[in-house]
Structure 1
Amino acid sequence: MNCLSLNVKGISEAHKVRWVKRLKVQNRISFLGVQETQITNNEAIDVRGCWDSEDFGFSAMQSLGRSGGLLSMWDVNIFEVHEIIKSSRFLITIGDWEGIPGNTILANICGPHDLDEKKRLWDELLQIRRERQGTWILFGDFNTVRRREERLNSHFCGSSAFYFSKFISEASLQDIRIGGVDTPTVVTLSTNSANSIDFWIRGWRATDHPKEVKEMQEIKRRIHEIDLLAEDRLLSEEEINERKVGFQKLVEMERFMTCDIKQRAKIKWAIDGDENTSFFHGFINNKKKKEHDSRAAYRRSMDHKP
């Protein structure tokens, strides 16, 4: 069961609609989240053209002028929706996903550019996150990143990254860095719920984490080389700047690695907590059953006494 997140930068053109439908079919999508529809009238969206059958539901949020606009679509045979929460910046769909126990909550997000508006968005989403329990999946165009290297040909805002990371940590979410520039993001949901999600995250971290460690080691090695040069001669302005940038990047990477550790600990606690709770209730129920059977056997023996 696959989910697709896609920033279309306008969906009024027929070729964009055909492109969305082609991606939906190729990736066997059951839930589609589109950002930046750039359409002020929801009725103007060719929703039917984005899907390959009649068995779909959808919800949309109009854009503010030529900015924003959200569309969420789903296969009604797999996902039964019972609540939708709308905002100009997010579209949250809550329902029962076939094979996954409890609520499945999919948040389609189109983040603002202004820092204060971003902080308000994270606070609002965090409040909803706390009020509604279930398997949460947040996706979309957040208009922010957590790491400097994720920015290409644009300005990196440290304050924006800090508040975004803070939101991810407080909401007990796991940041999964996949995709790329203008690349659709497809996420596969397993029917084993939290345990399989944890396994998938651990598998992803197994390949991603070593790369980060290697990069940090390389930065430390270069800083050490510059320090050795400084013992023999005056450093050039370029070397001083390289050392400064290296230190800043090390601090940044270590902070985010710490955040990742905290998030994984929270996820592990939640999963282990569920398993321990199940074991505890199973133990208590088994004990009650044995006591009940013992009392029933005692009553039967008393009934048969002469």
Structure 2
Amino acid sequence: MNLLSINLQGSKVRRKRCWVKEMCFEKGVQFVGIQETKMTHLELFRIKSLWGNYNFDYACSLARGFLGGILSIWDPNSFVKDQIWCGEYYVIVKGKWNHSSEWYFMVNIYGPQHIREKVILWDFLLSFINNNAGRFIFFGDWNEVRQEGDRKGTIFNSQNADRFNSFIEQIDDIPDLRLVALSKRWSDHTPLLVFKERIDYGPQPFKCFNSWKCRNGFDEIVKQSWLRCNQSTRFDMKLKLVKADMKGWIKEVKSAEVSRVVLINSKLEEIDEAIELGSASPECISNRGELMNELLEINRMEDMDLAQKSRVKWGLDGDENSGYFHALLKQRRRSDNIQGILINGEWVVDPSQVKQEFFAFYRDKYLATEAHIEFPVLQPQYVLSLGERNLLENTFTEDEVKSAVWSYILLHTHLFIIR
């Protein structure tokens, strides 16, 4: 997946179209999203000159006057379109990428300027996400920033930024996506290239859930896998064999449980219908109780997995169908996922360099002693002068003592007279 997004600020000039075509060819772009095309009517030749050939499919939202206009172009051999939604500020294309069975929603955005229209757009997009299953990729020009440092030349609005950040936090991340800023030549907006690149940080740890131990056959599959290994087999190879057998076993068990749930639900419907008609026998009613217990046991196993994945106390008693519960799971995955780190001000994603930097950081932490730690010298904000210090250290004179005593007597005598 190679995606290019750019605010072109008008597509009528030939050099701009040639520039976009060159970037698509050099970067192997399969999907390009263009904002501010300023096309008031459809021109296939202009779209072809942006893409480079006639092997393309497209979706667009035409400009109103000389402002706006959104255009999405893609290679039909790489991305197969299923459905399109177009609005004044968005173009959404639903389809599937090659070698992927998931639905993808490619959302090309050119955001409005007014905050009220922005909030309406964000609410619509969140509602659209909740009503459609699949992965969402947002790109374009939002006309909004997340923090004050991103705003140049205009006034920063913290309330708008907070609403925008709240909207972004509700959108799921897609792993293995990388973002590269290309050089801007014929536009004052930076073109962005998004591509999917899987970074290998080594073998992933094997997760064994507690619910597996409660299922019948767990101990037997572990013993059989271990006994199948020879004495000459290395220990790590034995663990790999046990891991592969356990994954195959749990996959078969869960598949059987899904089929069993479907069968139980159909039987329960038949029994409930018979009870309503008054033709249910005592054995039928007893069988219903057994089926309900079996269904509850299967659901209990699923709840154990969800609670262990969430790793929060709320998950033990929470509703696994709620958006909040699934947001906790996704937040945990995002926080555990390391995309890269900053080393000397440079963003590094190479796994070997990332691991080396982590190792050096914690090595220095554990080796540090009081002799190695440099504590900063604190400079006091206010220092007493020499005269003030001498005044505090001098002894009281006889006149100072008399003045203090007589002041106390006069004060209390005055209070006594008033009373």
* CA–CA separation in structure 1 for the residues paired with 2:178 and 2:149: 15
- Could you tell me which amino acid in structure 1 is paired with residue 181 of structure 2? G
* CA–CA separation in structure 2 for the residues paired with 1:155 and 1:45: 40
* CA–CA separation in structure 1 for the residues paired with 2:73 and 2:173: 23
The alignment partner of 1:5 has SS state of strand
1:255 alignment partner in structure 2 = none
- Could you tell me which amino acid in structure 1 is paired with residue 191 of structure 2? P
- Could you tell me which amino acid in structure 2 is paired with residue 103 of structure 1? W
2:137 alignment partner in structure 1 = 137
- Picking from 342, 345, 367, the partner of 1:207 is 342
Residue 195 of structure 2 is aligned to residue 188 of structure 1: yes
Offset of residue 170 of structure 1: 2.1
Offset of residue 55 of structure 1: 1.6
- Could you tell me which amino acid in structure 2 is paired with residue 179 of structure 1? A
Aligned length: 214
* CA–CA separation in structure 2 for the residues paired with 1:166 and 1:149: 18
Q: Which moved more, 1:7-16 or 1:178-187?
A: 178-187
2:108 alignment partner in structure 1 = 108
Offset of residue 206 of structure 1: 2.6
Offset of residue 149 of structure 1: 1.1
The alignment partner of 1:106 has SS state of strand
Offset of residue 89 of structure 1: 0.2
Identity of aligned residues (%): 28
1:89 alignment partner in structure 2 = 89
- Could you tell me which amino acid in structure 2 is paired with residue 48 of structure 1? K
1:247 alignment partner in structure 2 = none
1:161 alignment partner in structure 2 = 161
* CA–CA separation in structure 1 for the residues paired with 2:49 and 2:145: 32
1:179 alignment partner in structure 2 = 181
- Ranges in structure 2 where 5+ consecutive residues have no aligned partner: 183-187, 200-332, 348-375, 385-419
2:72 alignment partner in structure 1 = 72
* CA–CA separation in structure 2 for the residues paired with 1:87 and 1:45: 23
Residue 170 of structure 2 is aligned to residue 35 of structure 1: no
* CA–CA separation in structure 1 for the residues paired with 2:383 and 2:28: 62
Offset of residue 231 of structure 1: 4.6
- After superposition, where does 1:272-291 map in structure 2 within 5 Å? none
- Could you tell me which amino acid in structure 2 is paired with residue 206 of structure 1? I
Residues 145 and 138 (structure 1 numbering): CA distance in 2 closer, same or farther, change over 3 Å? same
* CA–CA separation in structure 2 for the residues paired with 1:13 and 1:186: 22
Residues 202 and 191 (structure 1 numbering): CA distance in 2 closer, same or farther, change over 3 Å? closer
**TM-score of the two chains, using structure 1 as the length reference:** 0.62
* CA–CA separation in structure 1 for the residues paired with 2:149 and 2:92: 29
The alignment partner of 1:55 has SS state of coil
Offset of residue 151 of structure 1: 1.5
* CA–CA separation in structure 2 for the residues paired with 1:99 and 1:228: 63
Residues 142 and 170 (structure 1 numbering): CA distance in 2 closer, same or farther, change over 3 Å? same
Larger Rg: 2
- Could you tell me which amino acid in structure 2 is paired with residue 184 of structure 1? P
CA contact (8 A) 1:24 1:51 kept: yes
Offset of residue 115 of structure 1: 0.6
* CA–CA separation in structure 1 for the residues paired with 2:106 and 2:198: 15
The alignment partner of 1:47 has SS state of helix
* CA–CA separation in structure 2 for the residues paired with 1:54 and 1:19: 17
* CA–CA separation in structure 2 for the residues paired with 1:116 and 1:232: 54
* CA–CA separation in structure 1 for the residues paired with 2:104 and 2:149: 32
**TM-score of the two chains, using structure 2 as the length reference:** 0.46
* CA–CA separation in structure 2 for the residues paired with 1:116 and 1:110: 15
What per-residue deviation string (whole Å, max 9, x for no partner) do you get for residues 37-85 of structure 1? 1121123770111122322100111112222110000000010001011
Q: Which moved more, 1:39-48 or 1:122-131?
A: 39-48
- Ranges in structure 1 where 5+ consecutive residues have no aligned partner: 193-197, 213-224, 234-306
Taking only aligned residues, the RMSD between alpha carbons, in angstroms, comes to 3.2
Q: Which has the higher contact order (CA 8 A, sep 6+)?
A: 1
Residues 228 and 89 (structure 1 numbering): CA distance in 2 closer, same or farther, change over 3 Å? farther
* CA–CA separation in structure 1 for the residues paired with 2:44 and 2:135: 32
The alignment partner of 1:91 has SS state of strand
What per-residue deviation string (whole Å, max 9, x for no partner) do you get for residues 87-133 of structure 1? 10000010011022210111000001101111001000111111111
The alignment partner of 1:19 has SS state of helix
CA contact (8 A) 1:115 1:160 kept: yes
